[in-house]
């Protein structure tokens, strides 16, 4: 099975890459005038020190170190750590996630409407735009997750071990950015091993031992090697593999007990179950050259609140048809979301950036299904999309740090300003 069929043409691909161009514009517009956070400034010296000396640094040291490579390469590309030198990696990978999400949706459901809606929802989502305008892991991790899932699904359907190995490499990079990549990595490995018994007329080898060896190669050896390799600068300081294992255990312990600032813990929503049923926001405040900048990152509620009904619709679709694509998407979403819902520590909505591409594909698939079944008319869809676009446009100043400049955003500023 090919990742896209013979009916695809320049127009279909042009729409997705047009969305990429729009995504890059939204994520890059006014970037140089958006003052950096103190932690962003620190990432420059941390990236240099990590690549040259193997020092983990002081900002988000408890996350894997792929961010240091991306910031370092971005700085070299722009000749220094200017606004673009710090953030270009996040802008570029965040923008690329848009067409990749569309292609992944097309591979699953063979519907360009689903692919385009998936890309559109991610392209204009305020939270993802915000995440892509900062020099952190919150947009790089989703890119490698989406690309890894696409390669994993295509590798399974084509019975192509080489593509599955590429998927393992991408999941290794995702997990070397943030550990959110572990969940879709695990689901993809299980899906590959069980494919002969879950996909009717599957052409691949049905010998369990042979498939197990393939899984060990593609979904264990390669991603683990990639993950370990990102720690080489640290290991060159004289640390052994035993030290590396102790470091990971330390990371696990820290993640388990981590707490944010008093403001984060008491004011901002900090439970993942709220994300798709109640407005949840992340806030950053900067005072720069005599001017206050307030950024409030919140998803487009008209899209986010559709997630759980869309999940229920896709589950019903899977139960009725036993469709592997629906089952794969539902499994990846639930295995990525439920650990965040069930954890006892605070999980803020900025972490949802790794999950929302799957949520948007679920919603896009449900919309296409409802239209095909006549439950929703195309006129209603057009009105809904206009409302989605309008709301994202109204929220755009919030994610660029300009919340305080617009009178209609005053209630938002009063709720989320630290003052």
DSSP class per residue in 280-292? -EEEEEEEETTEE
End-to-end CA distance of the chain: 56
Contact indicator for 219, 185 with CB cutoff of 8 Å: yes
What number of CA atoms fall less than 13 Å from residue 265's CA on the CB side? 8
pLDDT score at 218:
97
Query: How many structural domains are present in the chain?
Result: 1
Q: Is residue 255 part of a domain?
A: yes
Contact residues for 345 (Cβ-Cβ < 8 A; gap 6+): 255, 256, 257, 258, 259
Q: Is residue 4 part of a domain?
A: no
CA distance linking residue 74 with residue 70, whole number of Å: 6
pLDDT score at 146:
98
Closest alpha carbon to 20 in 93, 109, 112, 87: 93
Q: Is residue 205 part of a domain?
A: yes
Contact residues for 323 (Cβ-Cβ < 8 A; gap 6+): 317
> Is the sign of the CA dihedral 273, 275, 280, 285 positive or negative?
positive
CA distance linking residue 146 with residue 151, whole number of Å: 9
> Is the sign of the CA dihedral 57, 60, 66, 72 positive or negative?
negative
Q: Is residue 403 part of a domain?
A: yes
pLDDT score at 353:
96
pTM for the full predicted model:
0.94
pLDDT score at 6:
40
Closest alpha carbon to 93 in 69, 112, 109, 116: 69
Q: Is residue 110 part of a domain?
A: yes
Q: How many CB atoms lie within 10 A of CB 204?
A: 18
Contact residues for 28 (Cβ-Cβ < 8 A; gap 6+): 91
Residue range of the domain that includes 49: 10-416
Contact indicator for 174, 163 with CB cutoff of 8 Å: no
CA distance linking residue 305 with residue 121, whole number of Å: 12
Closest alpha carbon to 329 in 201, 191, 223, 228: 191
Q: What 3-state DSSP class applies to 268?
A: coil
pLDDT score at 11:
85
For residue 391, give both structure tokens.
Answer: 């709301």
- Helix (H) or strand (E) holding 269, with range, is none
Could you give the maximum distance between any two Cα atoms of the chain, in Å? Answer: 68
Residues in the chain, pLDDT under 50: 1-6
pLDDT score at 328:
97
Q: Is residue 316 part of a domain?
A: yes
Q: How many CB atoms lie within 10 A of CB 396?
A: 16
Contact indicator for 172, 226 with CB cutoff of 8 Å: yes
pLDDT score at 246:
95
pLDDT score at 8:
56
pLDDT score at 2:
37
**Mean pLDDT score across all residues of the chain:** 93
Q: Is residue 2 part of a domain?
A: no
Contact residues for 111 (Cβ-Cβ < 8 A; gap 6+): 105, 365, 368
Q: Is residue 5 part of a domain?
A: no
């Amino acid at each position: 099975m090919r990742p896209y069929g013979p009916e695809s043409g320049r127009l279909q691909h042009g729409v997705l890459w047009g969305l990429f161009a729009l995504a890059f514009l939204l994520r890059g517009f006014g970037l140089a005038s958006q003052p950096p956070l103190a932690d962003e400034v620190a990432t420059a010296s941390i990236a240099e020190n990590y690549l040259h000396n193997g020092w983990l640094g002081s900002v988000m040291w408890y996350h894997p170190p792929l961010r240091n490579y991306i910031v370092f390469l971005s700085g070299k590309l722009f000749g220094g750590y200017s606004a673009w030198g710090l953030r270009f990696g996040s802008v570029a990978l965040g923008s690329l996630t848009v067409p990749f999400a569309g292609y992944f949706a097309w591979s699953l459901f063979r519907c360009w409407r689903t692919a385009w809606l998936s890309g559109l929802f991610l392209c204009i989502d305020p939270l993802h735009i915000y995440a892509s305008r900062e020099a952190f892991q919150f947009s790089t991790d989703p890119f490698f997750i989406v690309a890894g899932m696409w390669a994993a699904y295509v590798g399974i359907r084509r019975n192509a071990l080489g593509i599955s190995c590429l998927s393992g490499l991408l999941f290794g990079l995702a997990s070397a950015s943030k550990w959110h990549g572990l969940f879709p990595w695990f689901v993809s490995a299980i899906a590959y091993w069980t494919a002969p018994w879950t996909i009717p007329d599957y052409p691949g080898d049905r010998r369990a031992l042979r498939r197990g060896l393939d899984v060990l190669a593609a979904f264990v050896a390669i991603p683990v090697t990639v993950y370990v390799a990102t720690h080489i600068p640290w290991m060159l300081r004289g640390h052994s593999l035993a030290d590396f294992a102790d470091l990971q255990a330390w990371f696990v312990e820290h993640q388990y007990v981590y707490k944010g600032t008093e403001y984060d813990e008491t004011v901002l929503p900090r439970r993942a179950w709220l994300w798709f049923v109640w407005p949840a926001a992340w806030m950053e405040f900067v005072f720069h050259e005599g001017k206050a900048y307030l950024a409030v990152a919140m998803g487009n509620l008209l899209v986010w609140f559709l997630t759980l009904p869309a999940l229920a619709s896709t589950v019903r679709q899977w139960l009725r048809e036993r469709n592997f694509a629906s089952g794969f998407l539902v499994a990846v979403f639930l295995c990525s979301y439920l650990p965040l819902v069930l954890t006892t520590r605070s999980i803020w909505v900025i972490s949802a950036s790794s999950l929302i591409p799957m949520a948007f594909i679920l919603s896009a698939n449900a919309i296409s299904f409802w239209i095909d079944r006549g439950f929703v008319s195309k006129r209603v869809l057009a009105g809904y999309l206009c409302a989605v676009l309008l709301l994202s446009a109204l929220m755009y100043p919030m994610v660029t740090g300009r919340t305080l400049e617009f009178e209609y955003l005053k209630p938002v500023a009063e709720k989320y300003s630290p003052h």
